[in-house]
């Protein structure tokens, strides 16, 4: 039986080729998109405020963050030009 990866592990795998600094910059950009699109504040994000979250909210926002990350990476990959 195949074990399901947790959202955080999927994010790590998705960004494995980036440097730690590039990963942090990218995830900050994703957090900005989350806040702008959904009208959230940074304190509403579970990884920014560990005390004010319930389990369902953490899972939902984590899944949305993963989806936005995958979308942005694919978009950037498509627009990258190799010489």
Query: To the nearest whole percent, how much of the chain has pLDDT over 90?
Result: 36
**Distance (Å) of CA 73 to CA 10, 18, 62, 65:** 13, 11, 16, 12
Query: To the nearest whole percent, how much of the chain has pLDDT over 70?
Result: 87
Query: How many CB atoms lie under 10 A from the CB of residue 38?
Result: 10
pLDDT tens per residue across span 33-48: 999 999 999 888 888 8
In a domain, 71, yes or no: yes
What is the domain range of residue 68? 20-77
- Rounded CA-CA distance 42/79 in Å is 29
Give how many domains the chain has, as a whole number: 1
In a domain, 41, yes or no: yes
């Amino acid at each position: 039986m195949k074990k399901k990866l947790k959202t955080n592990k999927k994010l790590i795998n998705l960004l494995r080729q980036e440097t730690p600094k590039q990963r942090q910059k990218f995830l900050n950009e994703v957090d900005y998109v989350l806040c702008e699109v959904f009208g959230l504040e940074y304190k509403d994000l579970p990884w920014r405020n560990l005390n004010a979250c319930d389990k369902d909210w953490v899972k939902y926002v984590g899944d949305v963050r993963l989806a936005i990350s995958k979308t942005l990476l694919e978009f950037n990959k498509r627009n990258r030009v190799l010489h």
